Structure 1
Amino acid sequence: MRQNESNQQQQESREGWLEELHHNHMRRLTKWRHHILAVQLSMLVCMFLLWELAGRLRWIDVLLFSYPSKIFGQIGKDVASGEIWAHVGVTVGETVVGFLLGTLVGTLLAVLIWWSPFLSKVLDPYMVVFNSMPKVALGPIFIVMFGAGFTAIVMTTLSITVIITTLVVYNSFNEVDPNYVKVIRTFGGQRSEIFAKVVFPASFPTIVSTLKVNVGMAWVGVIVGEFLVAKEGLGYLIIYGFQVFNFTLVLSSLLIIAAVATAMYQLVVYAERKLLAGRR
Structure 2
Amino acid sequence: MLNENKIEYSKEHEIFLKNVKKRKALIIFTQILILVLFFAQWEITARLKIIDPFLVSQPTRMIKFLIKLYQNGELFRHIFVTCYETIIGFVLGTLIGTIFAVILWWWDFLSKVLEPYLVVLNALPKIALGPIIIFWVGNGRPAIIIIALMISLIVTIISVHAGFKEVDEDKIKLLKTFGATKFQILRYVVLPSSVPTIISALKINVGLSWVGVIVGEFLVAKEGLGFLIVFGGQVAQLDMVMLSIIILSIAAYIMYILVASLENKFLGWKN
- Counterpart among 72, 81, 99 of residue 90 in structure 1: 81
Separation (CA, whole Å) in 1 of partners of 2:179 and 2:268: 32
Counterpart position of 1:204: 195
Shift of 1:190: 2.9
- 2:97 is matched with 106
Give yes or no for contact 1:209–1:272 (8 Å, CA) kept in 2: no
TM-score (ref. length: structure 1): 0.90
Find the counterpart in structure 2 of residue 8 from structure 1: none
Cα distance in structure 1, aligned partners of 2:269 and 2:14:
22
8 A contact 2:221–2:227 mirrored in 1:
yes
Provide closer, same or farther for how the CA distance between residues 31 and 126 of structure 1 changes in structure 2, counting only shifts above 3 A. same
Q: 1:1-280 counterparts in 2 under 5 A?
A: 16-17=8-9, 22-277=13-268, 279-280=270-271
What amino acid is aligned across from residue 151 of structure 2 in structure 1?
I
1:250 CA displacement: 0.5
CA contact (8 A) 2:172 2:185 kept: yes
Residue identity matched to 2:85: E
Deviations 1:13-37 (A, max 9, x none): xx8455x555444332222111111
Quick one: distance in 1 between partners of 2:96 and 2:14? 43
Structure whose residues are more often helix by fraction: 1
Return the offset for 1:129. Answer: 0.6
Instruction: For residue 266 of structure 1, report the CA deviation from its aligned partner.
Output: 1.4
Partners of 1:255 and 1:25 lie apart in 2 by: 38
- Report the 3-state secondary structure (helix = DSSP H, G, I; strand = E; otherwise coil) of the residue aligned with 1:231: coil
| Structure 1 residue 275, shift from structure 2 partner | 3.3
Name the count of aligned residue pairs.
266
State the identity as a percent: 45
Q: Which of 1 and 2 has greater Rg?
A: 1
Taking the aligned partners of 1:101 and 1:165, their CA distance within structure 2 comes to 11
Using the alignment, how far apart are the partners of 1:102 and 1:176 within structure 2? 23
Letter of the 1:246 counterpart:
Q
Deviation at residue 208 of structure 1 after TM alignment: 2.5
Taking structure 2 as the reference length, the TM-score comes to: 0.92
Question: Judging changes above 3 Å, is the alpha-carbon distance between structure 1 residues 145 and 199 closer, same or farther for their aligned structure 2 residues?
Answer: same
Change (3 A) 1:109 1:23: farther
Letter in 1 for 2:56: F
Q: 1:130 corresponds to which letter in structure 2?
A: L
Q: Is the 8 A contact 1:165 1:214 kept in 2?
A: yes
